[in-house]
Amino acid sequence: MLKFKFSLTFEGLWLWLMLFTSASALVYFLYALDIIGLIAAFLIAGIVYTALNKQIKEPTSAKNTIKNSKYFYLFSTAALILIISMLALAAGSATDKAIISPWTVINPWFFPLLLAANLSLIAALTRNGNNKYKNILLGLYYLAIFSVAAIVYRLGYGFDPFIHQAAMAEINRVGFILPKTPYYIGQYSLIIALHKISGLSLALINQYFLPLISALSLPWLLSQLRQKSSRPEAWLAIIMLALIGFSPFILSTPQNFSYLLLLATIIFIYRQKNEALIISTALAAFAIHPLAGIPAVLAAAWSFMQARWPRPKISRLLKEPTIIFSASFLAFCFSLWAVSGFASLSWQNFNLSLLNPVFKNNENYWLNLSYFFINNYFWLILGAVLIMIFRRRQIWPEESSKEANNLRLFSAASLAAIAAYLISRSFSFNNLIAYEQGDYASRLPIIAIIIAIPLFYELFRYLGQRSLKMEKLFKLTATIGLAFIMLASTYASYPRFDNYYNSRGYSTGEADITSVKKAEERADGEKYIALANQQVSAAALHEFGFYNRYIKKDGQEIYFYPIPTGGPLYQYYLDMVYGKASRQNMTAAMDFTGVNRAYLIVNKYWWASDKIIAEAKMSADYWEKIGQGEDYLFEYRK
């Protein structure tokens, strides 16, 4: 009889989770993700886990020799109270209105509480205390700062999560969605499994999935960098990593989840964890998104070859920075092309211009400080890189040959991602709308920073070690400064609307939900189309999903709301709002899709909405104000 030995450690749980992610993607691609497919994925993951679990060493049960100091208890309690208060303020500020930024509606006391929490966290983690308790405290802090959007945006934040939610709803209904793709499914399977086991709605799980899993896993992942060290400089380095930014962890999308797994793969390689963890995590990243998955798989393969065949010529070649850079550069370019759907490319003007350092002084002191770091982010990162180059021997005083190999890999691969980004700025994807042209390429700098995270950790540990040797006044000033920069990093990681910056993208609001329901009610079962912006389309996805919502046209299927934004239906919407909201333009859209009924939904916040609404009132057969005038619904009939 086959015995399943499951190690109740975070390492064992992580291994099983990665195996299930990959197994479910394989089962989906070969069969489907219905209840039978999920059971098959569970069994495959369990069998492989049993075989690989022998590689995982049981943690030593040595007694904790570190005595918790009274200051650790004091600052930990203060941090915990502040974190709970922050979560309460965020929950009290939750809204179903269409907003640009959570900071426009959240209680202003959130920021003083966050600053105080930063100070308490720094003080607690640098005092003598049990590492387990410190990891729990760090996880709760991450939960508070990662979940602001999930809490404040009651109906959901962004656009992509609504598309993925609709896809998961369809897979949950019939087991698959066409066309089948080998990516995204890793995340879909986890959320669908949680939905079936817990009974919670897909929307709720999807909204909190990544903030929660990031808050739970990051303290353990980053503890691998510390190597169980309890020294204050090690914990300072972990805290300072938040300065780099964490915006990928606030929104549940497959791309963002794959970033987390890429980070895990890089950390496992750097600390030379067992091959089962490295390879399973890399394959899971690939099963979720290729842009992070391909670099993760290549890095895992590089690590495997270095460990198994250190002497052959090809292994020696893979230590050369030039070879690593060239291979990584080609991999990033290929990944970018694959994510774009192998779209045809066109060459634009090549531009390597960089932003000049920016110093502004036309707002309050808090925003001046925040935007000093936000606007000069590139130069601050560049400065950190230069310190690593010129202080390498001080940062890595006892560098082993394996560490040297890893340093070459991460340095060269990170530079290759930046080079691929600079090159990709010169191309345009012909099948993407203008404002989405840079979306794919803009992910490469994020990947570059993730690959370099172990290097940043060592740099911050070195700086922390130096700062702890300074006078008390310097340490106090540095602690307060660090707390303020952490505050600025949290502020910058979310959409913003202030006198310096406007993120522009509104969220889906309750008026959008009401509008799509009203259009559905008035159509009374007749086929129709609706022209609206992408957040109203997100509301339609939220309410109706994909099932039986396509209109067939010349062998292709067109969703009845403008999705994607680069599709033909969206162009008709642009004709209505940027051209003229006329019956002629709407009739052209109805002729294109072969329907006799159409709706135009205009948000009051849309540019020139007064003009559009006035024109539509003259041309429509029926119009209605939704809510307090947040949206306007116009009906056209042939």
Confidence category of residue 2, pLDDT binned at 50, 70, 90: very low
Q: Which of 27-36, 87-96, 358-367, 487-496 is predicted least confidently?
A: 358-367
Q: How many CA atoms lie within 13 A of 233 on its CB side?
A: 15
| Domain edges within the chain | 510-637
* Residues in the chain, total: 638
269-300 pLDDT, tens per residue?
998 888 889 999 999 999 999 889 999 999 99
416-428 pLDDT, tens per residue?
888 888 777 666 6
Does residue 541 carry a pLDDT above 80? yes
- Rounded CA separation 19/13 (Å): 10
- Rounded CA separation 546/559 (Å): 8
561-613 pLDDT, tens per residue?
998 666 788 889 999 999 899 999 999 999 999 899 999 999 999 888 999 99
Taking every pair of Cα atoms in the chain, the longest distance, rounded to a whole number of angstroms, is 80
Find the distance separating the first CA and the last CA of the chain, reported in whole Å: 69
Task: For the chain, give the mean pLDDT.
Answer: 85
Work out the number of other CB atoms within 10 angstroms of the CB of residue 182. Answer: 14
Residue with token string 């805290």: 239
Q: Do residues 551 and 528 touch, judged by C-beta distance below 8 A?
A: no
Q: Which amino acid is at 555?
A: G
Q: Do residues 350 and 426 touch, judged by C-beta distance below 8 A?
A: yes
Confidence category of residue 5, pLDDT binned at 50, 70, 90: very low
- Rounded CA separation 102/95 (Å): 9
Residue with token string 């006329």: 582
Confidence category of residue 359, pLDDT binned at 50, 70, 90: low
- Rounded CA separation 288/285 (Å): 5
Confidence category of residue 623, pLDDT binned at 50, 70, 90: very high
CA angle 201, 204, 206 (to 5 degrees): 105
- Rounded CA separation 262/413 (Å): 13
Residue 179, preceding peptide bond in cis (omega within 30° of 0): yes
240-267 pLDDT, tens per residue?
998 888 888 999 999 999 999 999 999 9
Residue with token string 């930014």: 245
343, two tokens: 């779209």
Cβ burial, residue 26 (10 Å; 0-12/13-18/19+): middle
Confidence category of residue 316, pLDDT binned at 50, 70, 90: low
106-148 pLDDT, tens per residue?
999 999 999 999 999 999 999 888 888 999 999 999 999 999 9
Please report how the helices 254-270 and 290-308 are oriented relative to each other, as an axis angle in degrees rounded to 10.
Answer: 20
149-174 pLDDT, tens per residue?
999 999 888 888 888 898 898 898 88
Does residue 309 carry a pLDDT above 80? no
Confidence category of residue 638, pLDDT binned at 50, 70, 90: confident
DSSP single-letter state for residue 599: E
Q: Do residues 87 and 139 touch, judged by C-beta distance below 8 A?
A: no
Beta-bridge partners for 518: none
195-247 pLDDT, tens per residue?
999 989 999 999 999 999 999 999 999 999 888 778 889 999 999 998 888 88
What is the tally of helices (H) and strands (E) in the chain?
27, 8
What is the reported pLDDT for 587? 94
What is the reported pLDDT for 361? 60
